[in-house]
């Protein structure tokens, strides 16, 4: 089941006795748990019929006792078990899952893990409940996911604003969602999110960011790259080197992939290397300005300077100095 399907059924008052939410992507698990906690029961019923447990502190016996109670002055009660992956002897829940009460909606949040599909617990859940298994999105999926999320809220986002937001935040769906909500509150009657809103409300400069540094590297524009690095130096939170180096490494890794493609079609190339076609111009520009050997050398330099940032063969050179030295060598590669 998907998070959207579970919530859609709940809105129609269709409930399974048990929901097991597992996997690597917290965003969807939190979304379902938040709805269960605040929207399944009206406020007047929640005081008597909502029980919340945390796996680290709760015993399996207390959870089962809560699940086996009957609701007070209501048709349903809700029992939430958060952070269930931290509960000891969680397999003890099997006795209830085998014979759950139809008047209880038992929601289990089992983050960062997946149960063994061969276990008896897994087989019982498939028979009795709803199973949501989540996984992290690939970085290449983030622009499309963000665009769809913004559209579901009734808004649109420019491609430049999208690039700034995704590149700055990375694979953190919850934070992307929260930042978009913050922007929407301040949009007034307008329905389109631009780079100006990203700069103002998220705190990302539309001129000095990792995306613009990547563009400068692709064009071999050394003076602009140095200006951006100087901005990073003056504003350490804007783009720490721990964010910059992996971003550039990912960029040049995909540039190298372009040299092995036989097709010159831009959309086909974008699909092959796993990027949104809108962002292909930088990759194609880099493939034009760097040879395959030059792109490989860029990756080696990124690895070398990443080691320096953690003190390997370096006595504490400032991050900005390391980045300046690195980009000069990268742009001079052949």
- Distance (Å, whole) CA 90 – CA 55: 9
Residue 304, φ and ψ in degrees, nearest 5: -60, -45
Phi-psi region of 189 (alpha: psi -120 to 50; beta: other; left: phi over 0): alpha
Q: CA–CA distance from 107 to each of 97, 101, 160, 170 (Å)?
A: 11, 13, 39, 29
- Which ranges in the chain are annotated with CATH 1.10.8.60? 139-202
Q: Beta-carbon neighbour count of residue 108 at 10 Å?
A: 27
- Distance (Å, whole) CA 260 – CA 69: 63
So what's the pLDDT on residue 27?
A: 94
So what's the pLDDT on residue 329?
A: 94
Q: Is the pLDDT of residue 77 over 80?
A: yes
So what's the pLDDT on residue 116?
A: 73
Q: pLDDT band for 162, please (50, 70, 90 cuts).
A: very high
What global pTM score does this model have?
0.75
**Which structure tokens are listed for 6?**
């579970």
- H helix or E strand, kind and range, residue 314: none
Q: pLDDT band for 268, please (50, 70, 90 cuts).
A: confident
**Which structure tokens are listed for 199?**
């700069």
**Which structure tokens are listed for 99?**
């014979």
Fold of the domain built from segment(s) 3-134: Rossmann fold (3.40.50)
User: Please, are residues 263 and 283 in contact by the beta-carbon 8 Å criterion?
Assistant: no
Q: CA–CA distance from 138 to each of 142, 151, 298, 311 (Å)?
A: 7, 20, 23, 30
Tens digit of each residue's pLDDT (9 = 90 or more) over 277-291: 877 889 999 999 999
Q: pLDDT band for 169, please (50, 70, 90 cuts).
A: confident
- Distance (Å, whole) CA 227 – CA 156: 31
- Which ranges in the chain are annotated with CATH 1.20.272.10? 210-331
Which of 7, 6, 3 lies closest to 27, judged by CA?
Answer: 3
Q: Is the pLDDT of residue 128 over 80?
A: no
Q: Is residue 147 classed exposed, middle or buried when 0-12, 13-18 and 19+ CB atoms within 10 A define those classes?
A: middle
So what's the pLDDT on residue 274?
A: 84
Q: Which CATH number fits domain 210-331: 2.40.50.140, 1.20.272.10, 3.30.200.100, 1.10.167.10?
A: 1.20.272.10
What do you get for the CA distance between the two ends of the chain, in Å?
Answer: 51
- Distance (Å, whole) CA 301 – CA 304: 5
Query: Mean pLDDT over residues 322-330, rounded?
Result: 94
Q: pLDDT band for 225, please (50, 70, 90 cuts).
A: very high
**148: helix, coil or strand?**
helix
* CATH number for the domain whose boundaries are 139-202: 1.10.8.60
**Which structure tokens are listed for 60?**
């399996």
Q: Is the pLDDT of residue 310 over 90?
A: no
Phi-psi region of 13 (alpha: psi -120 to 50; beta: other; left: phi over 0): left
DSSP state for residue 71 in the 8-state scheme: P
Interacting residues of 295 by C-beta distance below 8 A, sequence separation 6+: 252, 255, 256, 259, 286, 287
- Distance (Å, whole) CA 21 – CA 209: 36
- Distance (Å, whole) CA 291 – CA 101: 66
Q: Per 3-state DSSP, what percentage of the chain is helix, strand, and coil (rounded to 5)?
A: 60, 10, 30
So what's the pLDDT on residue 240?
A: 87
Which of 103, 169, 172 lies closest to 136, judged by CA?
Answer: 172
- Which ranges in the chain are annotated with CATH 3.40.50.300? 3-134
């Amino acid at each position: 089941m998907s998070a959207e399907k579970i919530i859609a059924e709940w809105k129609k008052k269709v409930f399974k006795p048990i929901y097991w939410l597992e996997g690597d992507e917290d965003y969807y698990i939190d979304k379902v748990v938040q709805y269960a906690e605040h929207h399944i029961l009206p406020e007047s019923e929640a005081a008597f019929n909502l029980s919340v447990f945390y796996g680290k502190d709760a015993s399996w016996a207390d959870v089962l006792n809560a699940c086996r109670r009957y609701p007070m002055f209501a048709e349903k009660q809700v029992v939430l078990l958060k952070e269930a992956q931290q509960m000891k002897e969680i397999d003890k829940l099997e006795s209830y899952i085998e014979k759950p009460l139809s008047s209880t909606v038992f929601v289990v949040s089992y983050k960062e893990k997946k149960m063994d599909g061969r276990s008896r617990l897994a087989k019982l859940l498939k028979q009795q409940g709803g199973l949501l298994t989540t996984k992290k999105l690939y970085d290449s999926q983030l622009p499309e996911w963000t665009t769809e999320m913004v559209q579901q809220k009734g808004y649109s986002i420019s491609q430049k604003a999208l690039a700034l937001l995704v590149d700055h935040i990375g694979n953190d769906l919850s934070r992307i969602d929260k930042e978009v909500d913050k922007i929407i509150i301040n949009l007034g009657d307008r329905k389109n999110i631009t780079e100006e809103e990203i700069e103002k409300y998220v705190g990302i400069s539309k001129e000095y960011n990792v995306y613009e540094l990547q563009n400068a590297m692709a064009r071999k524009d050394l003076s602009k790259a140095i200006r951006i690095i100087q901005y990073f130096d003056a504003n350490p939170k804007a783009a720490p080197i721990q964010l910059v180096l992996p971003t550039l490494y990912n960029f040049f890794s995909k540039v190298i992939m372009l040299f092995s493609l036989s097709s010159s079609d831009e959309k086909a190339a974008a699909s092959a290397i796993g990027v949104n076609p809108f962002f292909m111009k930088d990759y194609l520009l880099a493939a034009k300005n760097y040879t395959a050997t030059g792109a490989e050398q860029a990756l080696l330099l990124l690895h070398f300077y990443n080691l320096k940032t953690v003190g390997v063969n370096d006595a504490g050179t400032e991050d900005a100095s390391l980045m300046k030295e690195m980009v000069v060598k990268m742009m001079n590669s052949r």
